[in-house]
Amino acid sequence: MIFGVGVDLVKIPRVKEVITQWGDRFKNRVFSQGEITYCERSVRSEERYASHFAVKEAFLKALGTGWGRGIGIRDIEVRRNEAGKPSVLLHRKAKKMADEIGITNVHTSISHDGEYAVAVVVLEK
């Protein structure tokens, strides 16, 4: 059964601007070391950072909580399999809430084109 669907759109130049201004401080506050490593392997790393940020926001929308329920942004981690398919790994408060609700699967899709990155997250119960 579908529990929730979330979509988020992120402007890539805005993420690039934040990274230019705050650098590692921003990256380490928002992304796991695995996410940073993955994003930095690309010449256009800002696209990857923007798409990962969009997944985090879309997850919270699908969960129906927003940022107000104590879930940290690093509690939501984007991973990729060998073929590049994205998945979401939950930690700490995000994992606890998903377990309490009975979320059994988190599906995600990411795309980017031009100035925008978009992510969709579907939570299954």
Q: Which CATH architecture describes the domain 2-124?
A: Alpha-Beta Complex (3.90)
- Active-site pick, 16, 56, 61, 107: 61
Helices of type H across 3-117: 12-22, 24-30, 33-40, 45-63, 92-101
Q: Where are the domains of the chain?
A: 2-124
- Active-site pick, 27, 52, 56, 112: 112
DSSP class per residue in 36-49: HHHHHTSTTHHHHH
pLDDT at 66: 72
Can 91 be counted among the known catalytic residues? no
Can 93 be counted among the known catalytic residues? no
Q: Report pLDDT digits (tens) over 36-78.
A: 999 999 999 999 999 999 999 999 999 998 766 789 999 999 9
In the predicted structure, residue 110 carries a pLDDT above the cut 70: yes
pLDDT at 12: 98
